[in-house]
């Protein structure tokens, strides 16, 4: 029996927990979340709503928010991309949703994470374990550290399946080989008996995707799934993720710092900086008319493929450490348009006429 992967995000093999042997998902009341209209006027129902989430880390110098007042919805059959530099709180936000925070020292201090009418922050651990992999699944950043080196691909996937489903070993093997084939892994029946070190980086990532999808979850959280892969393999992985998402009518939260990835796969985008959401918008709107200076800075730092040579404009400075956050706008020390009030007052997330859109700035400038 492998170690319990539900208690820590690494070196977890998946987001399920072999300690839970009931084989059933938790009894979560199916109270629907409020509906929403998309740009075409059709109703879109949030399948997961994060409201005013605060996650803090305790240090010898006190507790500091690494995720501060974060709110967003993931709608049915939608890809929401969470974008930002390293250290902005994207992964901690995802681990907060999965209830996989290393507690202590990191814990959720306030806010709600509502899924199927229930607040995940209040559910007991047993019920959360039943949700992981079965209804909400996650692909972690580095497959080499997420896959246990002493277990074969088949052992990992079989354990995930039999933890949540009443399946024999033979049935679990068939399910595993089928999903490995679906995600494009070559010779899936042979790779079922392979160890992680016997696979390439792209193969390991496909195994992680297959393990996350094998129980057909409603929501998939993908934390930088193309990190450390070459460009060709990145494109293949993203194409496979998008195809599986559309085929399964699944919602997806994709975490990345690569705006090219965002442009190719996202429906909506939430830009995160220093633990906060600073802008949300549909993907086309965000690229054509970004409002927050941080979003504008990210786009100006991108090379253009139009053939026109132009100088790239980096964002000066670094993301401030959690112990030294500015009292006002957290982006003020790096912002070229900061006003005096930006240093003392903290801007609220101003929402526009369109649901799921808004930005956090006192002095927005045209792009």
Strands laid side by side in the 276-282 sheet:
136-139, 219-223, 251-256, 79-83, 268-273, 276-282, 358-359, 350-351
CB burial readout 4-14, b (16+ within 10 A) else e? ebbeebebbbb
Q: Each residue of 89-98: pLDDT tens digit?
A: 999 999 999 9
pLDDT at 6 over 50: no
pLDDT at 320 over 90: yes
The pLDDT assigned to 353 comes to: 60
CA distances from 25 to 126, 129, 173, 298, 325 (A): 10, 8, 21, 41, 41
Which tokens go with 31? 């109270």
Q: Tell me the CB-side half-sphere exposure of residue 71, using CA atoms within 13 A.
A: 16
The pLDDT assigned to 44 comes to: 67
Distance CA 165, CA 272 (A): 37
pLDDT at 312 over 90: no
pLDDT at 226 over 90: no
pLDDT at 15 over 50: no
pLDDT at 24 over 80: no
Q: What is the dihedral of CA 78, 156, 90, 358, to 10 degrees?
A: 10
Would you place residue 351 in the very low, low, confident or very high pLDDT band (cuts 50, 70, 90)?
confident
Q: Name the one residue in this structure whose structure tokens are 């070196």.
A: 11
pLDDT at 260 over 90: no
pLDDT at 336 over 50: yes
CB atoms within 10 A of CB 80: 22
Distance CA 187, CA 183 (A): 12
DSSP character at residue 316 = P
- Cβ within 8 Å of residue 100, ≥6 positions away: 6, 7, 8, 9, 12, 15, 138
Percent of the chain with pLDDT over 90: 75
Q: Each residue of 231-244: pLDDT tens digit?
A: 888 889 999 999 99
CB atoms within 10 A of CB 298: 21
More confident residue, 97 or 26: 97
| DSSP state letters, 95-156 | HHHHT---TTTEEEEEEEEEETTEETTTS-HHHHHHHBTTTEEEE-S-HHHHS-TTS-HHHH
Would you place residue 100 in the very low, low, confident or very high pLDDT band (cuts 50, 70, 90)?
very high
The pLDDT assigned to 144 comes to: 86
pLDDT at 117 over 90: yes
Mean pLDDT of 137-158: 94
Three-state SS for 204-259 is HHHHHHHHHHCCCCCEEEEECCCCCCCHHHHHHHHHHHHHHHHHHCCEEEEEECCH
pLDDT at 27 over 70: no
- Mean residue pLDDT of the chain comes to 87
Mean pLDDT of 4-12: 39
358 bridge partner residues: 280, 351
The pLDDT assigned to 227 comes to: 81
- Cβ within 8 Å of residue 286, ≥6 positions away: 269, 271, 279, 295
Q: Each residue of 264-311: pLDDT tens digit?
A: 899 999 999 999 999 999 999 999 999 999 999 999 988 876 666 677
pLDDT at 5 over 50: no
Distance CA 207, CA 203 (A): 6
More confident residue, 146 or 44: 146
Distance CA 93, CA 70 (A): 8
Range scoring the smallest mean pLDDT among 25-34, 77-86, 158-167: 25-34
Distance CA 331, CA 343 (A): 9
More confident residue, 350 or 210: 210
Q: Tell me the CB-side half-sphere exposure of residue 342, using CA atoms within 13 A.
A: 17
Q: Name the one residue in this structure whose structure tokens are 């042979």.
A: 190
Q: Each residue of 40-85: pLDDT tens digit?
A: 444 568 999 999 999 999 999 999 999 999 999 999 999 999 999 9
Q: Tell me the CB-side half-sphere exposure of residue 304, using CA atoms within 13 A.
A: 11
Domains present along the chain, CATH in parentheses = 40-359 (3.40.50.300)
């Amino acid at each position: 029996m492998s170690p319990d992967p539900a208690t820590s995000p690494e070196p977890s093999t998946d987001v399920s927990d072999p300690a839970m042997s009931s084989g059933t998902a938790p009894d979560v009341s199916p109270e629907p979340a409020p509906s929403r209209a998309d740009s075409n006027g059709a109703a879109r129902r949030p399948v997961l709503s994060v409201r005013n989430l605060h996650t803090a880390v305790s240090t010898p110098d006190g507790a500091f928010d690494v995720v501060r007042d974060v709110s967003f919805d993931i709608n049915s059959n939608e890809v929401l991309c969470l974008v930002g530099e390293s250290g902005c709180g994207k992964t901690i936000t995802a681990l907060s949703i999965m209830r996989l925070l290393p507690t202590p020292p990191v814990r959720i201090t306030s806010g709600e994470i509502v899924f199927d009418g229930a607040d995940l922050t209040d559910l007991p651990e047993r019920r959360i374990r039943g949700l992981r992999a079965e209804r909400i699944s996650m692909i972690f950043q580095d497959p080499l550290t997420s896959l246990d080196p002493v277990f074969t691909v088949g052992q990992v996937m079989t354990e995930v399946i039999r933890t949540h489903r009443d399946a024999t070993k033979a049935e679990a093997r068939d399910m595993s080989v089928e999903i490995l084939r679906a995600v494009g892994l070559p010779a899936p029946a042979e790779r079922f008996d392979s160890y992680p070190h016997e696979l390439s980086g792209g193969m390991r990532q496909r195994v992680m995707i297959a393990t996350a999808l094998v129980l057909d979850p409603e929501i998939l959280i993908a934390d930088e799934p193309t990190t450390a892969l070459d460009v060709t393999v990145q494109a293949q992985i993203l194409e496979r993720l998008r195809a599986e998402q559309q085929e399964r009518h699944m919602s997806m939260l994709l975490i990345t710092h690569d705006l090219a990835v965002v442009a190719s796969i996202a429906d909506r985008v939430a830009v995160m900086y220093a633990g906060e959401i600073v802008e949300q918008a549909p993907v086309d709107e965000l690229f054509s008319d970004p409002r927050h200076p941080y979003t504008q800075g990210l786009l100006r730092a991108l090379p253009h493929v139009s053939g026109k040579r132009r100088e790239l404009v980096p964002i000066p400075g670094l993301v401030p450490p959690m112990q030294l956050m500015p009292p006002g706008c957290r982006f003020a020390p790096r912002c070229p348009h900061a006003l005096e009030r930006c240093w003392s007052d903290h801007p609220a997330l101003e929402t526009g006429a369109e649901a799921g859109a808004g930005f956090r700035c006192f002095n927005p400038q045209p792009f």
